[in-house]
Structure 1
Amino acid sequence: MVTCCLAQKNRVKNEDQAMAYLNKYGYLDMKGGMPNSQEMKTALEYFQRFANITMTGCLDSETMAMMNTPRCGMVDMDSPADMMRKKRYALGSRWSKTELTYRIINRTPDLPANEVDRIITESIEKWADASGLTFTLVKSGNADILISFAPGSHGDDNPFDGPGGVLAHAYYPSSNAIGGDAHFDEDERYTDASFSGTNLEWVAVHEFGHSLGLGHSQIEGAVMYPYYTGYVPNFQLNSDDIAGIQAHYGENVGEPENTPSTPVDKCMTSITLATRTLDGSTYLGNATHLYRRTDGSIPDGYPKVIGNEFLGLPTALDAALYYPRNGKTYFFKGSQYWRFRNQRMDNGYPRPMSNWRGVPKDISSAFIWSRNGKIYFTKGDEYYRYTPGYGVTSHYPQPLSQWDGLPSHGVDAAFQWTNARTYFFKGSEYYRFNDITESVDDGYPINTATAWL
């Protein structure tokens, strides 16, 4: 049985303890005895690569600090060959169904019972929002995922070790009675929306990822990254987490247009800016203001002036682009562009558009197409395909009319959403483009304001 444990104690202080750590998490196989110096060096390099730190092959201070960082106790690799895989989500076993039940057996006294229930429900629903899964809370009897809080030995041959050690563990889906269950160490002090104590939401979302069959990711911003991050305001699944859960269970067929609508007269009637950010937010705006969308709703206080949300940006932007490979969001206007990590501008911006070789100034939209991972820009009735490091592909621009179902005279904004569909905005309407069939889905265009805002 595979179990996941979130460990927080600083335990590695010397080479022997480092060796035990590497063995525990799958970087070193000590079944045949003590490793030689080359095997130890290779194991350290594997660990450093997985942790995204400098690969020295030595037990240096950076490596020691990473080993003593709060983390999940599930192995990172089943074998060294796993290091050859792409730095992304890993998949374990999966449920053979998509309609799952969960039951909260008991609750920590650290928080009011209704708050615990809310956090647990919101945590598990994050995975439902991103996938084809649905969850039903049951009050009694058996359930696919049983959730409990207990200290020390609690009946599963994986006892907790008191405060500050193992925080929680969960089991991959299986036919065994314990498959999918998540256990939380009651010796910890669980908190909500606080940087102190142990943030219950983060731990719960991570553990439920394992309950659904996800292994560890090497992407630092992913919740399935092995290392505990604590409280994260406006916490969202990373695109890598979403890709993992959808690889197991498909995407959520519910679209943003199915959410409760806002009267049109209280919304922007047209969108000229659309993008995402690393923290999971979706932004839709016009020349002066923008809305932020999180968890399928608009937080209080929006719309905001563009420069108040993204300090340093001008108004009347041409386009925006979220690039998942580096977690950056780019904004374009005229002959300049800006680069942000979430809502913070990187140093040294704005920079000239000439850095994007072959891309014209005054573009209309920018997006990544999931079919090939390339960056696309539109300007008027033409589009450009761009490859980082090389520039615009030869024989471009091409007529936008090649995109079946889109308005051939141009679009106002575009972006790729979390469901791997590309959304194009024109006037007061938007088009959902199916990147698999390479055509606009049936039933589009749809009114933007009532569907998104």
Structure 2
Amino acid sequence: MDKHMCSSVEKPSCLLSLKHFCMKRNFIIICSILPVFYVSLTSGAPTTSGAPTTISVTSVSPTTTPHTPTDHEQFINTLISLGYLPPTSNLATVTLQALEEAIVLYQSYHGLEESGKFDKETQAQMSRPRCGNPDKTTSNTDRGRRFMATSGWPSTHITWNVVNYTRDLHHEQVDEAVEEAFQLWSDHTVLTFERVSGTGEDVDIRIDFSEPYTEHGDDLPFDGPGHVLAHAFLPWFSKNKGDVHFDDGETWTHKSYSGANLWLVAAHEIGHSFGLHHSFIQGSLMYPYHSGYNPEYTLHEDDIMGIEFMYGDGTPDYNTQRPGPPNNPQVPRLCIESFDAIDVAVDGYTYVYKGDYYWRLELGKITDGYPKLISQGWPGLQSEIDATVTVKNALLWRDEVGKTFFFKGRAVWRYTGRSLDIGYPKDLSTAFPGFPNNVESVTAAVEINGNGQTFFLSDGVFYLYTHRRQVEGPYSINAFRDIPSNIADAVQLQDNYMYFFTKDLRYFQVSPWTFTTSYSYPKPTTDDWFECEGAARPLIIGTPSSDASLPLYNIYTALFMLIMALVSL
């Protein structure tokens, strides 16, 4: 095999050919290391200057002339930006299997032949003008999904303003197109919209036309004419939440069949601002590709189902139950409101608490018959608790193992099953000797099953309850990499990871060994935990485990990690 048989420009297609070459000859081991082998060969291939060739997508030639991406490089970059490949991928790191799977998934979403190849039909589809928001999110991993709903605005009255205009249209035309975009949605939702004069965070949806190729405040520069027309941010997004950005490198038009039609593009992006992901029902407004101007366009049934589910019309008719009785305004809506606390109880089920109510989760969804009143489930417990944890490590907790602690302010309740233990509630420092008196409340509590150590979070710091039954700290929350300070509560699941939930309806998966956040997090809490309508594949959570050896498994896992760390020294 000639080590120069594949150039960096031809790498994806050449690797596919090499794969088939290997498989025909049953070179199984060779094929498994082919991408790495290829990179080592091409990185050492001589150039005319004698310098090694660099195949990174951001590379430049020895003459410092800017590198123009090839078709294959642009193709991979597009798959990355749309969520089909991890953001760390590039020509040098993407594997054959990952590339083929990404292509097949893209083709399946858009009704193309699932060839796994970058064929003419796939190229044509990918070159169409579209929204820059990703197709493949954490929630829509299944094929054929209809609308995808995440968390909405806590209020049904939404404010908006145009903070920067395009040069293509008069201001009055832009205003009219945007108003008509809101009107397209308002005919099918209880939401009301008001234009205000502000430009800061007091405005819910800020609309901006941004210059292409330059940073405009979100690390997502536009690509100029063609392809990405605009992008928008979901309501729960911590930065730029609800904002809509248009690429001013496009030719924007109003009531015209030429250029990019501002009315329908704006209506699509505003759908994201309401909390909707892309739909793959062609003809729906939330389909990611722009179909051009249609003066007779009306909202598709799929879009109507999505917006009515999120904000209501009084008569829901979907297969997925909403959390709580929909006609009782006093019951919190977990699809749009952050909960107060979460815990895996001694019965193995996951319980979520909000206000006066609690819910039980089973197989990633709300169990039928819930929510119920906290006062009925746990007699003597107050509502609006701050945090809860059920302790399970017998080595640390001894006679307290299996008990559930609830926290509100400095008050602590301890339950055996559903019965309040005698002498409780107690002050925080009495229940856990050594807790500082200046700690006003515990906002989150999570036990590490393997060693029994328990983390108590409070006001941007955490305290550690050790195996010596001593309180240590405070330590900065920054010890948990990428975890924000607005934590609602935390829990550890059977996969050993800790899950931190924020008050803006996101959650983080965190390693208990390295304190680092897993790739692709944070994710919307509503998608995976409450099976809100539009969530595709919920986590299998909240169900009792039949594995009685789980604590022992955790010990073995911890010992294995320790041995590996020592070996690497």
In the superposition, the TM-score normalised over structure 1's length comes to: 0.49
Which is higher, the Rg of structure 1 or of structure 2?
2
Whichever structure has more strand as a proportion of its residues is 1
In the superposition, the TM-score normalised over structure 2's length comes to: 0.40
